[in-house]
A and B are shown apart, each in its own frame.
Chain A
Amino acid sequence: MQSASRKTLEESLPDNRASLAAAAIRLVLGALTAIMLLAVPSVAASQQSFVTRQTTYVVRFASAIDESDAPVLLRQPITLRLRNVTLERALQAIAARAGAPLSYSRAVVPLDRVVSIDVRQVSVLRAFYEVLNSVNVELWVSIDGHMALVPATAPPSEEATGTVAGRVTMAGSNEPLNDATVSVSGTRLRTATDNDGRYSIAGVPEGTRTIFVQRLGFGRDSATVVVRPNETVTADFALRPVAVSLSEVVTIGYGTQRRRDLTGAIASVTSDDIQRTPVVSVEQALQGRVAGVQVTGGSGQPGSSAAVRIRGGNSIAAGNDPLYVIDGVPVSASANNTNTYTLETVGVSGLNPLAALNPSDIESVEILKDASATAIYGARASNGVILITTKRGRSGANTVTVNAYHGTQAVRHRLSLLNAQQFAAYANAARVNGGQPALYTPAEIAALPNTNWQDEIFRSAPVTNVEASFSGGDNDTHYYVSGNLLRQDGIVLNTNMNRGSVRLNLDQDISSRFRVGNRFTLSRSQSQLMPNGGGGQEVSSVLLNALTAPPTLSVLGSGNEYFIGVNPATGRIFSNPVGAATLITNKEQQNRFVGNVFGEYDLFPKLTFRSSFGADYLSSMQDFYSPSTTYPGVTTGGSGSRGSLAVTTWLSENTLHYTPGQFGFLRAVDLLGGITLQRTNAANVSGTGQNFVTDALGQNGLNSAGTFIGVWTGAPHSSLASYFARANWNLLDRFLFTVTERVDGSSKFGTGNQYGFFPSAAIAWRMSDESFVRGLGLFDDLKLRASIGKTGNQDIGDYRALATLGSSTYLFNGVKVVGYSPNTLANPNLKWESTSQGNIGLDAALLRSRLLLTADVYNKTTRDLLLEVAVPATLGYSTQLQNIGSVRNRGVELSLNTVNTTGALGWTSGFNIAWNRNKVLSIGADSQIVGPVGVGAGAVQNPTILKVGQPINSFYGYVYSGMSNGQTTYADLNGDGVISTADQQIIGNAEPTYTGGFTNDLTFRNFDLSLFIQFSQGNKIYNITRALLTNDAGNNNQLTDVLPAQSAGANGIPVPKIGNTYDARPSTLFVEDGSYIRGKSLRLGYRLPASLLSSSRPGHLQNAEIYINATNFFTKTKYTGYDPEVSEYATSVLAQGIDFGTYPQTRQFIFGFTTAF
């Protein structure tokens, strides 16, 4: 009933607005200037006379009262002491304090009764209750603030029911709206309108009921009706098309706010958006949906991490991942924190921690972008904050949903590689050119097998997801329980991810002032990852091996085993990609609990104390085993390792929230203050062995390994202690102010620098509430926002401010000894990275809210960058972590939501686009750092650079100038006659010029169609894969581009003298345009007609939809690799946009259904 009253309040505003517009026009005609208009104290004061009476709130005094539902009018605090006065006198006193007229009748209220009252700082409602609690009356409150006492209606009897019926049309045109959902508050009754817009719901319990109606692309509406037994009451609705509802409640840090009241740049993705594209992990749901949020899939490996950048990368060494807060619990998304370095993976460092969360459990995701929005998270907010709110149950509507989908995934395309004959000719040519005998005789060539290794390792891979949820509750208890099972196979042989999760969200009202609840989720994920190089086991990437494996070798040897004999092209043991993919164990299991319990107590009607205790517990096990039947186990008699990690983070938060509403001349005052403590304790252990007696036990036989390589242990911990406060208020009903500050103390920094202060301030001007704007008749809403503030970043390892000792080993007479020595130089001055950000934004709703435009311009500068700075090595240390350097990001974001058609064919669109310019301003004494991270094949093909004046993620190398004598030649940029390191320059960067997305949602009768297009323009990809596949000296397979016949074409490298082309330097040859536009998702759904559903009877199907969905169904790009959405080092800050045998993205087709009972 509470929400019903509020809805009605809001939905009636337009009428006011129309009338006010008329008034404003009159004022304009009266030649008043806009400035003078500003000076008019309050237009609102005259509103009452324009408003029609409409009851919005009814309170019965017979039972206990619930103040939280009451309108602001009744929640005002009053202090009143009256002894032995008449009830009428008491009522008048209360009404006077409330500042609202009260109507009553002597026939209804015993006005002469003698009463006493002594209350201090209680609500108006409570005061009424004190004097009226034994009187059988109801207090009615109208929208314009009139109060009336009327005779109490009889309590509804269980059996007595009536019918509600009516028609839903479009406001203005009177066109009928079919398939609008109509529901009755406090019951599970719901139905959909027919083609004439009509509906009828029988069996509605008698009493005052609120009827809700909603339809895609239209604002919600509701009406209050009084249902009488065996009668039909009519409730007709005229819905207005709106692009985004301004009354929508948005989650902000430590609270919520209506969108119309926001002062910061906050974007939302709702459960509807998420469900329109089935995704496995939440960050995938953000891709292309929100202006300024760049999500790079990185890899198609199931369970892998994506790189999420909000308004560009701010940091060089301290991480660029946003802070994820799940139901108030900050969750580490940094894969490095959850890795025991046991797995053979590069880039995909184990499972993505966010993969633990079932996207279907998400109610909404809020992306906090500017400083005003993020500053409440202070020291961890520099990279933006992503707030994830999971679903909660609603009163009266016990609902069971069951959803499932099944689909298949495939690689987008395959690379064109040499076949066996071509490879043999190429290998021979290379050797002859090098003055050696040919590798294959013509007779041998004729008899060679021809293996297509890509076909051998790629497969079409199924994905299946099943989930169920149960939610509902009564007035005091709300529950949401869900479970999910996902199995996703990867498109590379023997890769997969399985996830099972359960969630329990409970909310309980202990009393009208005391509420408790919890959010718990428990998940288990398990993944077999593609062995992909790196680590100590020398497993090269299965994918790279498949690309470079000679097609002249067979998958299986003579004994039907995976062939691991000598590769004649290299003279070394053949690292069989199929054998490695099939036989090597490279898996991770994660158990994760994320949750909190909280209690809220209203100390006073407007002052709430909230205490919550949250925890994020992660336990991870990473296993590797290469048996002796495949490389590299074949050289070591089996290689195995197991790593185990447990990370426990606990969080205690206590807040006071004061919402006095009116406070002196300020309105909508909302004050928040709090304190939080957080600690993370981790412990890990991993062990490695070789020379196993048997492969049968795999890594479980570590204790019997013939060679014990070693064991590694660690137990880092860190703490945060923080205080924060926020004030929101409203001046003259037009100016909204927010001031936020947070003080964070972190154990990661030096004594004296542990505390950082992060303030922000914002102002918004609701211009649409100004008469001169209203007078234009153009804007339904117009708001100008400006904010400024500072946030921090502390995402570095623990103990980095301290000097610590490291161990090393040495051999004396074959005996290993251990040496301990300091390996880091203490930096007691170490402190926070800080990002200052200014933001100016505009929200505008036009065309009767059918078009909503949001535009933001920002400029942010990060200073005191945490950077490993080269110090004079004379010290005995080569680097020290210091606060040095700065990076700037500035950009523009635009998003547009429209309601295009509202007739039989409903069509809404959303479009967003963002430009971000990233620039390194300084990195200390150096002007550039070449190869700041180790990528690619070690020293060769590392194109990374950090250079002042250039974006992070720039590429650096030589400028290819052609071929000479079969050798690649490069431009002599400095003209000194020699090609040296001085001839390198910036040869591109991975930063896009702009990124964005375009969604279209259509409904026609029972069909829904969603089309989602996503694009990235101007980013470059450094294709190391291509380098390896074009510059070899006759030992590894190559792209067909190396064939002389192909070389004339634009794609080919010009006529090489095969066998003498090996040149590993990074150059423009391998920089490619990574721009793309892709059909990210296409979904077609069919909802079973309402007539087939017995919606009005409990326990029967209420809603059922079947759908098909295609993901990545088209891609337009010039990129020659597998997929332009590629970033081998997705978790790295400095090496984005690099393709190095990266597990490709997939195309996916699925079929699914969703149902609700």
Chain B
Amino acid sequence: MNSENKSLNLRADVDRLIANGAVQLASGCMAELWREEAGLSVAPFLVSRFEQLRGKVTLTPYRLAVLRSFTLEPAIPLVRAEAFVKGIDLSAQLGDFNAYAQDILDADSSLYRFSPDAVILAARTPELAPDLWNQFADLSPDAVSAAIQRVVNSFAQWIRIFRERSSAALILHSLELQPHPHNGILDAQRENGQAAAIHQINRELRRIAGEHRSVYILDYDGLMARHGRLRWNDQRKWLLARMPIAADNLLHLSREWLRFLVPLSGKTAKVAIVDLDNTLWCGIIGEDGMNGIKLGPEYPGAAYQNLQRALLDLTRRGILLAICSKNNPEDAMEALTHHPGMVLKPKDFAAMRINWGDKAQNLREIANELNLGTDSLAFIDDNPFEREQIRKVLPEVTIIDLPANPMEYASALRDCPVFERLALSSEDKQRTVMYAEQQERAQVEHTFENKEDFFRYLEQEAEVAPVSSATLARVAQLTQKTNQFNLTTRRYTEQQIQEMSGRSGWQVLSISVRDRFGDHGLVGVAIAHDQGESCEIDTFLLSCRVIGRTVESALLSQLAEHASSKGCKRLLGWFFPTKKNAPARDFYPQHGFELTEQSPEGSLWSFDLTKQQIAAPKWVRVTKPAAV
């Protein structure tokens, strides 16, 4: 009854806060309600209240179409509520029942009219391959091969046609296995059994997806298996309403969808900030000492090693780690450096704040040090009080709610969609090393009297090149996640970048920067298109890693040079202000652009190419790729 009352109070609070215009508090309350009782009965309430907050709180709009072979209507409010809580205003459209193929093939279908940002194709083995699903025991090996080929060919056709008609991301459910193979234990003895046939289709699906841009596989069979294959489906609901998935698993499915939608809409965390005592190890180092804390392959230390392993895995995805802990730094460093059970080492952390100060302030400092916004941070702490404090003071930080049982810590982290990445660039894999180089740079910078001397000492080399198949993924990734030095904050998929680069009059340039300390990798993107005498800059952005190093001037000068060579007389560029892109605000005026138009969305700047030039800074050596 207690939780019932809490829920009622929270609902009343939400409505009262909305009525009073306290929208931030209201959305905090809604997030709490969702944490307390995420599910089918609360989702419609949350969706309707979030719709009232539209325009009053910062939400990223995103459009999702779901094509399906079975009843999925009840999942839509769930995925929308889950998305809202994560800051995504998700509009969702559900294709007609079992009409997924027509939806894709018909150029005029409601799917394309909806112009989605992402499309999920949720078709199941029973509908896609009824022969493999129902009559496998009757099929000859040839008939099995033919059935596999038929399904694979259908997918190949659907994906190809979809790609011709839409640049939206496409997420395909993989095919599920029979929980009970029809030939019993014989199935596992054969190379061409029922499970092997489905696996083969899934393998082919991965191959085909890899041949296209922005096509992804959702491991639906893996999702089912994780939650228990026999408990995933509910035969009664299937017979009643053609809804195969048990109602309480629809939440798991919508959360799996979010693992794609969160990175697709750019809502990812770039740093995981961890506490130490009772988070990275069991016990309190300041009280229990090196021999007292528990961290090793046995219970209970193993749970903490598992969490450390999961954190280390994040660094391989380009996510930075940092420490925020209330401790004596000497005690903590002793354990971090010398405890034999440590999976993580001090070098794995890009920043550390080990002190007795306020954690919110420490988080702000870490964000500053790493040149990131606080909304790029995820906070991992076993102490609910600390989590609540951060939630109140820095609501933009992602809070990982560690479960009460430490054995579940690692999976809580691995479940978290803000750490998902759709593709990995070489920059991602080396990020921790790059930040170590960055710290060296910062130390050296202090020893110089003026900036120019420091820039000369850096010996920066910038390579400006048109986007290529090798850089496409990184270029799209930068448009999706760069918030600070980004003049228009336009988000693009790989597919859209590829299309733009192929259009006549369009230029998609990237800049890669290197200096005496190391390689920054590909850190900037400029997209521009000629319109007669003008060349308009569609996108101009720079990774926060190199802000303040003047390489942006080098990129702009290349763009201006190119526009001049094409006979353009003016270079035009919009600046659309956001909460985050203040660092880019003065970019155009600083380079001699003049304000020509001011609208509520932003300002349009113009540069007269016939009268002036934009010079690259003397201390940046600009190179071009060997053959262009």
- Chains A and B belong together in one complex: no
Q: Give B residues with C-beta under 8 Å from A.
A: none
Q: Give A residues with C-beta under 8 Å from B.
A: none
